[in-house]
Chain A
Amino acid sequence: MSPAPMSPAFPAFSRLLHWLMALMIIAMLFIGIGMQASLADYHWLLSVHRPLGIAILVLAAVRLLNRRVSPPPALPAGMPGVLAFAAHASHVALYALMFAVPLVGWAMLSAARYPVVLYGSLVLPPILPQNDMVFAILRTTHTVLALALFALILAHIGAALMHAIAFRDGVFQSMANWRLRPVRACSGASGR
């Protein structure tokens, strides 16, 4: 009967990226849903939605590279295979959607021949030729993928709370850790 091994913390830059993107993506989902039901705020919300989406796309790429440079800590050795698989699969899906939702947004605006204005006179080039049927399909895809991302984020938060409250295996602390230096995360029990 050995104690559950504690996970070491994520590197500080990885944690910064995670929490920054968490805020941006949740804000983005609220902006995306909210602007479709608001007449007065539609324009300014859309003006934020486009550059924020592109920023998320860029940060997702930074994060994927950062993962190669500083890999995340391994999951606790004692985690059952099915939970470890769920953890890996959900992270693959999260990364896929962090890329797919903004890319589909950019592609759909391209197919509709809307200029993808980021700020001022900075406009992204179209990545698809004009085609209104393609726009219609991508427009629906954008919403469906965004809602899938939202559902996945809820599952991710649920899993994090399971680690924090039920499993207490240090996985939650490996990300919810506010120290700059990457020390080993401690649960309440391990300091004794």
Chain B
Amino acid sequence: MQSEPDPSKDTYRLWPPGPRLLAALGASALVALALAGGLAYAGGLFTPGRLTQRAIVDTFQKINGVHPGFRRNHTKGACIAGHFESNGAGQRLSKAVVFAPGTLPVTGRFAVAVGKPFVPDNKTQVRSLALRFELPGGEEWRTGMNDIPVFPVPTAQDFTGLMTATAPDPATGKPDPARVSAFFGAHPEVAAALKRITGRPFASGFANASYNSLDAFRFVAADGTVTPVRWAMMAVDPDVAEPADQPGTPDPDYLFDDLAARLARGPVEWHLVATIGQPGDPTADATLPWPDDRQKVDLGTLTIDHIEAEAAGNCRDVNFDPLVLPAGIEPSDDPLLSARSAAYSVSFTRRAGEPKSPSEVQFPAQGGAPQ
């Protein structure tokens, strides 16, 4: 590089701009453009057709309307509390502290799987149980389970497709049959999964229903052994099938009121049961059941003894992100898991910043709490 030592008054001369200054400005502009362009690309600015977590939540809002302060799905719910007593049987499968023998506090939420806060309970077909196990040292295990045997779709793309295809047509108030059959024609696996879901035994309430993780996870043992699992909360209360036709106008909140009445008679229990996957069992597709003969391990007992309406600081303000996991439980290759985690985060962030209004589900002053 040829350059004479510059007189200092010229070294920092900005005006009139010399060729060196213009070269520096040009180089700066190029670097800035490359970095800003790269960041915009990473943020999806140049791929507007790509399905993002924001788009998924937008679809919920388009179909259900925006209900400020409420979850975008599983909107109507109530908060529960109790404990989990581990029997230690899970220790050989997972090093997670939750499976060491002992008792841990658990909070959670029962809900119906609809994105509208005031939907009558009898207009819903899926019930959910979300739980938050608090482990020593700040670790947590959060899980969101449903009372269905398989998930209706294998991917987030299909989930959005199914929601859109089966959304009520604004003109008729009913789903457009042509769109519905076109979607199921193109997605036979979704039709098959929905057949399993609608054909399942339907329990009469929250207390005697069983809830499945649906997605597969990986249990990691202390020695590093990895075991594919799906887990379930199996009801201890007797399974009473829901009567097909209920005369008269049912209590719109009968599921929640029945649960509160049941809790007033005493705590309700479930067994946490892990189903052990064998090589070849599908872990990346939640629409496919695992064979019935797979080994099932009872890991302990969940006892719920308290229910309360959603309020500031309780389950209302908790994101039951299925990938809040303790060491010893890891996500499988199921693509729904990361997508659920991402979409839940958007739903949580949106509702956190919105004004809140009371839930449809409220309980009399003494509640269903025995204590």
Query: A: which residues have CB within 8 A of B?
Result: 1-5, 26, 29-30, 33-44, 46, 76, 78-80, 83, 112-117, 120-121, 123-125, 130, 132-133, 135-137, 139-140, 150, 153-154, 157-158, 161-162, 164-169, 187-190
| B335 contacts chain A at the CB level, 8 A cutoff | yes
- Summarize B's interface: helix, strand, loop or mixed: helix
Q: Which residue of B lies closest to A190 (CB)?
A: B5
A79 contact set on B, CB distance < 8 A: 12
How many whole Å from B14's CB to the nearest CB in chain A?
9
Is A189 a contact of B4 with CB atoms below 8 Å? yes
User: Which residue in A39, A116, A167 is a CB contact (below 8 Å) of B51?
Assistant: A39
Q: Which residue of A lies closest to B337 (CB)?
A: A43
Is A113 a contact of B318 with CB atoms below 8 Å? yes
A117 contact set on B, CB distance < 8 A: 139
Is B42 a contact of A136 with CB atoms below 8 Å? no
How many whole Å from B189's CB to the nearest CB in chain A?
19
Some 11 contacts from A to B, beta carbons below 8 A apart, are A3-B8, A30-B42, A36-B53, A37-B50, A39-B53, A42-B338, A42-B345, A78-B8, A80-B12, A136-B352, A166-B23
Is A168 a contact of B339 with CB atoms below 8 Å? no
Most buried by B among A37, A41, A157, A189: A37
Would A161 and B31 be within 8 Å (CB), given that A2-B8, A29-B39, A43-B331 are in contact?
yes
Most buried by A among B1, B326, B338: B338
Please count how many residues in chain B sit with their CB below 8 Å of the partner chain's CB atoms.
63
Is B12 a contact of A78 with CB atoms below 8 Å? yes
Is B335 a contact of A37 with CB atoms below 8 Å? no
Would A33 and B42 be within 8 Å (CB), given that A42-B341, A136-B353 are in contact?
yes
Is B28 a contact of A158 with CB atoms below 8 Å? yes
Bound Cα distance from A112 to B342, whole angstroms: 15
| B319 contacts chain A at the CB level, 8 A cutoff | yes
Is A4 a contact of B8 with CB atoms below 8 Å? yes
Is A34 a contact of B43 with CB atoms below 8 Å? yes
Would A112 and B12 be within 8 Å (CB), given that A33-B43, A189-B5 are in contact?
no
Bound Cα distance from A155 to B39, whole angstroms: 16
How many whole Å from A36's CB to the nearest CB in chain B?
7
How many whole Å from A144's CB to the nearest CB in chain B?
14
How many whole Å from B188's CB to the nearest CB in chain A?
23
For the complex with contacts A42-B341, A136-B352, A150-B36, 5 further pairs of A-B residues with Cβ separation under 8 Å are A33-B39, A43-B337, A43-B342, A139-B349, A158-B32
Q: Which 6 A-B pairs have the closest CB atoms?
A: A136-B353, A3-B5, A37-B44, A78-B8, A158-B28, A123-B138
